[in-house]
Structure 1
Amino acid sequence: MTDSAELTADMLVGGLLRLLEVSPLSDMQFRGARMPGGKGRVFGGQVIGQALMAAIKTIEGEKLVHSLHAYFMRPGDEDYPIDYRVEADFDGGTFSNRRVVALQHDKPILNLVASFQKPEGGLSHQVAMPDVPPPEALEDQADYARRHADQISPAHFRLLTRPSPLEIRTVGVPTFFRTEPGDPCYAMWFRTRAPVSADQHRHRAVLALATDLALLATSLLPHGRRLQNENIQAASLDHALWFHEDVAVDDWLLYTMDSPWTGHARGFNRGMIFNRAGVLVASCAQEGLIRLKA
Structure 2
Amino acid sequence: MPASLDQLVTLLDLEPLEVGLYRGGQPEGSSLTRVFGGQVAAQAVTAAQLTVPEDRYIHSLHAYFLLGGDPSIPIVYDVENVRDGGSFTTRRVAARQHGETIFYMTASFQKAEEGWDHQDVMPTVPAPADSTPLLEVIRAVRPDEVDTWKREWSSFDLRYIGDNRPDDDPTRQSVPAVQRLWFRADGTLPDSRIVNTAAFVYISDFSLLGVALIPHGQFIGSPEVVPASLDHTIWFHRPIRADQWLLYDQTSPSASGARGLSTARVFTEDGTLVATVAQEGLIRRRRS
User: Structure 1 length normalisation: TM-score?
Assistant: 0.90
The one-letter amino acid paired with 1:65 is I
Change (3 A) 1:112 1:235: same
Q: Which residue of 1 aligns with 2:219?
A: 226
Which deviations, in whole Å up to 9, do the C-alpha atoms of 1:168-206 show, x marking residues without a partner?
00112699x999564511000011111112311211111
Q: Which residue of 2 aligns with 1:88?
A: 81
> Gapped runs of 5+ residues in structure 1?
none
Does residue 159 in structure 1 map to residue 151 in structure 2?
no
Does residue 29 in structure 1 map to residue 21 in structure 2?
yes
> Gapped runs of 5+ residues in structure 2?
none
Whole-angstrom CA distance in 1 between matches of 2:43 and 2:190: 18
Whole-angstrom CA distance in 1 between matches of 2:223 and 2:91: 38
Displacement of 1:139 after TM fit?
Answer: 1.8
Change (3 A) 1:28 1:253: same
Identity level (%): 38
Q: For 2:251, what is the secondary structure of its paired residue?
A: strand
Contact 2:262 2:279 in 1 (8 A): yes
Displacement of 1:107 after TM fit?
Answer: 0.5
Whole-angstrom CA distance in 2 between matches of 1:164 and 1:140: 12
Q: How does 1:193-232 map to 2 (within 5 A)?
A: 193-232=186-225
Contact 1:55 1:114 in 2 (8 A): yes
Change (3 A) 1:217 1:179: farther
Which deviations, in whole Å up to 9, do the C-alpha atoms of 1:57-109 show, x marking residues without a partner?
11123101110000011000111110001100000121100000001111111
Q: For 2:132, what is the secondary structure of its paired residue?
A: coil
User: Structure 2 length normalisation: TM-score?
Assistant: 0.92
Contact 1:72 1:109 in 2 (8 A): yes
**In the comparison of the two structures, how many residue pairs are matched?**
280
Whole-angstrom CA distance in 2 between matches of 1:31 and 1:179: 49
Contact 2:163 2:180 in 1 (8 A): no
- Deviation larger for 68-77 or 31-40: 31-40
The one-letter amino acid paired with 1:159 is T
Whole-angstrom CA distance in 1 between matches of 2:44 and 2:58: 12
Contact 2:93 2:105 in 1 (8 A): yes
Which deviations, in whole Å up to 9, do the C-alpha atoms of 1:31-61 show, x marking residues without a partner?
0001121231110000000000111111123
Q: Which residue of 2 aligns with 1:267?
A: 260
Q: What CA RMSD, in Å, does the superposition of the two structures yield over aligned residues?
A: 2.1
The one-letter amino acid paired with 1:141 is L
